[in-house]
Amino acid sequence: MKDWLNSIKRDYSFKIILWEDIDLRREVKKHPKIIAEKFPNLLKQNDVVNFYEVDQAGKTYFCDEIDEVGFYILNDYGDEGNIKWIQEFIDFIKANDISFKK
């Protein structure tokens, strides 16, 4: 297929761009919120997503309404960067089945 597409590129006035799997994965990782809105199943993993425990080292966020659960960020990217990571995490959780393993 790739060879055929390369061979017909010159026959058309529009540009044909060939992407490898790794290119698509990079773009999905770079723009998860935009892609999830248009293609919700793209962020869905094939398997259940497992969470694990880590020692405290980064930044932790909690709210008063639910004080038993919060968000932990391994590295501190500042308020704006941390919010971006938390939103990406929320979008990821919404798109997948979750399990907890020890």
Q: pLDDT for 70-96, tens place per residue?
A: 898 988 888 899 989 999 898 888 888
The number of helix segments (H) and strand segments (E) in the chain equals 4, 4
Q: Which has the minimum average pLDDT: 9-23, 52-66, 73-87?
A: 52-66
Q: What are phi and psi of 47, to 5 degrees?
A: -110, 170
- Every domain of the chain and the residues it spans: 2-100
42: Cβ contacts below 8 Å, ≥ 6 apart = 28, 35, 36
Q: How far is CA 83 from the centre of its chain?
A: 14
Query: Three-state SS for 16?
Result: coil
pLDDT of residue 45: 66
Confidence (pLDDT) at 80: 92
Could you report the per-residue pLDDT of 23-55, keeping only the tens digit for each?
887 887 788 778 778 877 766 666 777 766 666
Cβ proximity of 5 and 16 under 8 Å:
yes
Q: How many CA atoms lie within 13 A of 61 on its CB side?
A: 12
